[in-house]
């Protein structure tokens, strides 16, 4: 049984239709990368899974549970973590700028019992030692890389089965970006399935097991990541 | 010749009482604005609700208002304010926000809500008078203040209102900075879409903040009733200056609003004593002074006091 199964999904924002008949599956323990040009609807697909978009028809099943009509908090409980793009489709960053690093993590652990939340918090700070040093600093004073580390840690606070990451390396220096990619690998090695949206297709295909390509709200490719390269991706996007 | 005793009685004591009233009332309006972005015209009416609840509670219990009894009624005023504020959010504002209402539309809705609460209080008034013979019109709570030998009622109120303001500020500070709910509330204010994505029920957080808004403003109503006549207009007539306090405070910080309340209170009393009185101007002009301050604030420091505080922190 796949961890994530999407069937014939049509979704958007209110009356604004974005996704057209998307069907895809992500297996447990893999890194699935979702590629495509700007405006293709990648973030909208993640929003739809997270319960933040309007779903017109189709279904989304996570770990055998139908979450198509569930609320964001129910979806989180079922085991979906979401690190939004920054800025996201609602125009806000993927952290709470006015809160300290530690408070950001506390906010991300809402609904988790106190002792489990504290454990997750220590684990998150352990995964990114830099954050531990900065834990009492307001998030708005962090660098771009530190912000992404924080956002990823926040996505992990509820120990998700599936972690969705939307362009976590956007705007980062190459060195910092490769730190983020290796963090993503270690999260996968913790047994967490990853659905990763990336602009850096070469790097993403390197760490990915499976790849999807979306263009204007439709799925153009679904298959092993190693059978896709930048040239083929270019042709898919140009519609050849 | 400068007379210390007159200065204390005519300036310092009234200024503290006025300031505390506007500070208390500004806390709720600032919270209304930073959570749900509503410049609510019904805000003052929450204070009137608190005052009316106090009045009915005390009449029901004692048939009148005895010294010190308003403090017995304070929890009732808070509860009544909280209930009305909660219903306003759940019944009026939340459904409108869900349908994508703009700030202007919400503001107009709050105006409608003002007339609704206002009307209900007026009806209660006439029921209380005809059925129970309780004369709610133009009542004052000053007789319900505690009595301390050697101190005038105004002096006592200056002390008690300061204590209540400080206790409320301390409680809010603790709630917002030392509890998980406070962190979640600040997160929802800071970045609501992200809060939702993280599974925070932002609407529920707002509903709880409206309970707090109503409770604090209901308590403010008791102090309003100590120096202004208790009528259904009790809060409505104070609303312009509550807005002044909140705008001078910068619209974004509870503490900024409290400082704004102090600026309003002191400027009114100082203006009355040293500008209006010597020039023989009627007291109606008293309002001109805080409004002059708000215009100056908007011109010189558009972000208000909270903006100045934030600017200092950045350096
Ligand atoms: N909040 C929103 N409301 C309405 N339309 C939106 C919203 N966010 C994005 N869109 C539209 O949805 C389409 C897909 O956007 P998005 O999913 O962000 O693409 P991608 O992540 O692939 O760049 C775009 O046409 C965009 O303009
Ligand atoms: Mg996107």
Interface contact flag, B198 A77, Cβ < 8 Å = no
Q: How far apart are CA B142 and CA B161, in angstroms?
A: 12
Q: State in Å, rounded, how far the first CA of chain B is from the last one.
A: 45
Q: Residue A232 pLDDT > 90, yes or no?
A: no
pLDDT in tens, A120-146: 888 888 888 889 999 999 999 999 999
Q: What average pLDDT does chain B have?
A: 91
Residue nearest to atom 25 of ligand 1 (CA): A39
Q: How far apart are CA B40 and CA B5, in angstroms?
A: 40
**C-alpha pair distances (Å), B167 with each of A13, B80, B81, B145, B283:** 45, 20, 18, 18, 33
Interface contact flag, A50 B197, Cβ < 8 Å = yes
Task: Establish if B175 touches chain A: CB-CB under 8 angstroms.
Answer: no
Q: Residue B158 pLDDT > 90, yes or no?
A: yes
Residue nearest to atom 27 of ligand 1 (CA): A39
Interface contact flag, B191 A93, Cβ < 8 Å = yes
Chain B CB contacts of A93 under 8 Å are 191, 194
* A21 close to ligand 1 (CB < 6 Angstrom): no
Residue contacts between A and B (CB atoms, under 8 Å): 69
pLDDT in tens, B190-216: 999 999 999 999 999 999 999 999 999
Mean pLDDT of B109-127: 93
Q: Residue B80 pLDDT > 60, yes or no?
A: yes
CA of A108, closest CA in chain B: separation in Å?
A: 6
**CB B293 within 8 Å of CB B263:** yes
* A47 close to ligand 1 (CB < 6 Angstrom): no
Encoded tokens for B132: 């129970």
**CB B79 within 8 Å of CB B218:** yes
Percent of chain B with pLDDT over 70: 97
pTM over 0.80: yes
pLDDT in tens, A28-87: 999 999 999 999 999 999 999 999 999 999 999 999 999 999 999 999 999 999 999 999
Q: State in Å, rounded, how far the first CA of chain A is from the last one.
A: 33
Report which ligand 1 atom has the smallest distance to the Cα of A197.
21
Interface contact flag, A93 B192, Cβ < 8 Å = no
Q: How far apart are CA A50 and CA B267, in angstroms?
A: 52
Residues shown for chain A: 240
* A41 close to ligand 1 (CB < 6 Angstrom): yes
Strand order in the sheet with A218-224: A80-83, A162-166, A193-197, A31-35, A210-215, A218-224
Task: Establish if B195 touches chain A: CB-CB under 8 angstroms.
Answer: yes
Report which ligand 1 atom has the smallest distance to the Cα of A36.
22
**Consecutive H or E run containing A58:** strand A54-62
Q: Residue B315 pLDDT > 50, yes or no?
A: no
pLDDT in tens, B214-264: 999 999 999 999 999 999 999 999 999 999 999 998 888 899 999 999 999
Q: Which long-range contacts (CB under 8 A, 24 or more apart) does B293-299 make?
A: B293/B244, B293/B248, B293/B263, B293/B264, B293/B267, B294/B244, B294/B247, B294/B248, B297/B247, B297/B248, B298/B247
CA of B295, closest CA in chain A: separation in Å?
A: 29
Report which ligand 1 atom has the smallest distance to the Cα of A166.
21
CA of A8, closest CA in chain B: separation in Å?
A: 23
- What is the chain A residue with the closest CA to B184? A107
CA of B184, closest CA in chain A: separation in Å?
A: 5
Task: Establish if B184 touches chain A: CB-CB under 8 angstroms.
Answer: yes
Percent of chain B with pLDDT over 90: 69
Percent of chain A with pLDDT over 90: 84
Q: How far apart are CA B236 and CA B52, in angstroms?
A: 14
Encoded tokens for A10: 């049509």
Interface predicted TM-score (ipTM) of this complex, two decimals: 0.89
Provide the pLDDT for residue B278: 87
Residue nearest to atom 17 of ligand 1 (CA): A41
* A89 close to ligand 1 (CB < 6 Angstrom): yes
**CB B176 within 8 Å of CB B185:** yes
Q: Residue B138 pLDDT > 80, yes or no?
A: no
Q: How far apart are CA B297 and CA B291, in angstroms?
A: 10
Strand order in the sheet with A16-26: A16-26, A4-13, A54-62, A65-66
**CB A57 within 8 Å of CB A17:** no
Provide the pLDDT for residue B289: 84
Task: Establish if B197 touches chain A: CB-CB under 8 angstroms.
Answer: yes
Phi, psi of A82 (to 5 degrees): -135, 120
Provide the pLDDT for residue B311: 65
- What is the chain A residue with the closest CA to B196? A72
């Amino acid at each position: 049984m796949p961890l994530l199964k999407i069937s014939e999904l049509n979704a958007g924002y209110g009356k604004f239709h974005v996704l057209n008949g998307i069907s895809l599956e992500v297996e447990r323990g893999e890194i699935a990368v979702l590629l495509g040009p700007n405006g293709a609807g990648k973030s909208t697909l993640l929003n739809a899974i997270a319960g933040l978009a309007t779903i017109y028809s189709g279904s989304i099943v996570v770990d055998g549970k139908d979450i198509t009509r569930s609320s964001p908090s129910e979806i989180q409980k079922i085991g979906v973590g979401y690190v939004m793009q920054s800025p996201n489709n609602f125009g806000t960053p993927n952290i709470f700028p006015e809160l300290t690093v530690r408070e950001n993590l506390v906010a991300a652990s809402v609904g988790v019992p106190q002792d489990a939340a504290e454990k997750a918090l220590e684990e998150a700070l352990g995964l990114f030692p830099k954050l531990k040093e900065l834990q009492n600093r307001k998030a708005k004073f962090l660098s771009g890389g530190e912000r992404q580390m924080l956002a990823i840690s926040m996505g992990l606070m509820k120990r998700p089965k599936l972690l969705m990451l939307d362009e976590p390396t956007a705007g980062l220096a190459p060195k910092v970006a490769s730190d983020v990619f290796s963090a993503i690998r270690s999260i996968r090695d913790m047994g967490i399935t990853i659905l990763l949206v990336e602009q850096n297709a070469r790097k993403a295909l390197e760490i990915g097991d499976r790849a999807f390509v979306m263009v204007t709200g439709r799925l153009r490719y679904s298959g092993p990541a190693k059978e896709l390269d930048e040239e083929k991706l270019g042709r898919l996007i140009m519609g050849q | 010749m400068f007379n210390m005793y007159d200065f204390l009685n005519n300036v310092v004591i009234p200024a503290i009482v006025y300031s505390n009233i506007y500070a208390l009332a500004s806390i709720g309006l600032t919270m209304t604005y930073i959570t749900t972005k509503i410049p609510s015209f019904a805000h003052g009416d929450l204070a009137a609700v608190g005052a009316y609840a106090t009045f009915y509670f005390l009449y029901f219990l004692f048939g009148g208002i005895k010294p010190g009894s308003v403090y017995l009624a304070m929890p009732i005023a808070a509860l009544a304010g909280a209930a009305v504020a909660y219903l306003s959010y759940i019944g009026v504002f939340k459904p409108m926000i869900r349908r994508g209402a703009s700030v202007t539309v919400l503001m107009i809705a709050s105006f409608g809500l003002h007339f609704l609460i206002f009307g209900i209080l007026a009806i209660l008034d006439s029921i209380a008078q005809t059925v129970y013979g309780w004369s709610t019109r133009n009542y004052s709570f000053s007789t319900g203040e505690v009595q301390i030998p050697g101190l005038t009622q105004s002096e006592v109120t200056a002390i008690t209102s300061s204590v209540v303001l400080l206790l409320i500020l301390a409680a809010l500070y603790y709630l917002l900075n030392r509890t998980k709910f406070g962190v979640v509330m600040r997160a929802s204010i800071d970045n609501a879409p992200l809060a939702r994505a993280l599974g925070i029920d932002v609407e529920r957080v707002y509903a709880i903040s409206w309970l707090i808004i109503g409770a604090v403003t209901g308590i403010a109503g008791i102090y309003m009733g100590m120096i202004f006549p208790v009528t259904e207009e009790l809060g409505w007539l104070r609303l312009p200056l509550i807005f002044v306090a909140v705008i001078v405070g910068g619209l974004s910080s509870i503490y900024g609003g409290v400082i704004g309340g102090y600026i309003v209170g002191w400027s009114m009393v100082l203006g009355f004593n040293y500008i209006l009185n010597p020039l023989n101007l009627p007291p109606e002009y008293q309002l001109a002074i805080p409004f002059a301050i708000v215009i100056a604030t908007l011109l010189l420091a558009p972000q208000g006091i909270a903006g100045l505080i934030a600017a200092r922190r950045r350096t």
